[in-house]
Structure 1
Amino acid sequence: MSNFSDMVRYIGLSMEEAAAALDVSTDEIIRWCETNEAPPLHIWQGLVRMLDEIRVSAEEAAKSADLDQLEATDLNRVSLTVPGQAASEFDGPKRAATALAVATLARVFV
């Protein structure tokens, strides 16, 4: 495993989705995930853009919640969209953003 692999998995992309999102072949994604060979800088930057899209989406969802009226059952109904060209096409980034938003909102109850 590699740090690249960890980032792809954290974002929630399959190898095929990562290849499509980053505009490279699936073989390149697999090679970068399973060996010590690092991808070029523009590939890292593409992953960072997706992570930023996920973070911003989670932050916006958490900010828009009415914390005074928030109940624990509301946490299971958080729904959001991930802006941006790369991350919005796939379910994994949406799941990651939702998980971050729910975690942020759950802190209200701690």
Structure 2
Amino acid sequence: MSNFSDMVSYIGLTPSEAAAALDVSENEIVRWCSTDEAPPIHIWQGLVRMLDEIRISAEEAAKSADLDHIDASDLNRIDLTVPGQTTAEFAGPKRAATALAVAALARVFV
């Protein structure tokens, strides 16, 4: 595995989704994930933009929660949207953002 592969997995994209999001062939995604060959910088920058969209979405969801009236069962009902044209098209980034938001809110109970 490569760091590129780890980032794509963390974002929750399949190879075909990553190819569509980054405007490259699926073969290139698979090659960059399974070898030491690194993608060009604009591909890394595309992943960083997606990660930023996920982080911002999670932060906004956590900020908007009513911490005075939240209970543990509310953590299972968090629903959010991920901004950004590319990231919003796929379910994986939404799952990643939701996981980050739930983790931030769960800290209220620690």
| Shorter-normalised TM range | over 0.9
- Secondary structure, counterpart of 1:86 in structure 2: helix
Q: Determine the structure 2 residue equivalent to 1:37.
A: 37
Q: How much does 1:43 deviate?
A: 0.1
**Where in structure 1 are there 5+ consecutive unaligned residues?**
none
Once the two structures are superposed, the pairs formed by residues 9-48 of structure 1 within 5 Å of their partners are 9-48=9-48
Partners of 1:48 and 1:71 in 2: how far apart?
33
Spell out, residue by residue over 1:4-31, the C-alpha distance to the aligned partner (whole angstroms, 9 max, x if none).
0000000000000000000000000000
Q: Determine the structure 2 residue equivalent to 1:5.
A: 5
How many matched pairs?
Answer: 110
Q: Determine the structure 2 residue equivalent to 1:53.
A: 53
Q: How much does 1:49 deviate?
A: 0.1
Partners of 1:87 and 1:104 in 2: how far apart?
21
**Deviation above 4 Å: which 4+ runs of structure 1?**
none
| TM-score, normalised by the number of residues in structure 1 | 1.00
| TM-score, normalised by the number of residues in structure 2 | 1.00
Spell out, residue by residue over 1:48-74, the C-alpha distance to the aligned partner (whole angstroms, 9 max, x if none).
000000000000000000000000000
Q: Determine the structure 1 residue equivalent to 2:92.
A: 92
**Where in structure 2 are there 5+ consecutive unaligned residues?**
none
Partners of 2:86 and 2:33 in 1: how far apart?
19
Q: Determine the structure 2 residue equivalent to 1:80.
A: 80
Partners of 1:86 and 1:93 in 2: how far apart?
10
The percent of aligned pairs where both chains have the same amino acid is 80
Aligned-residue RMSD, C-alpha: 0.2
Spell out, residue by residue over 1:34-89, the C-alpha distance to the aligned partner (whole angstroms, 9 max, x if none).
00000000000000000000000000000000000000000000000000011100
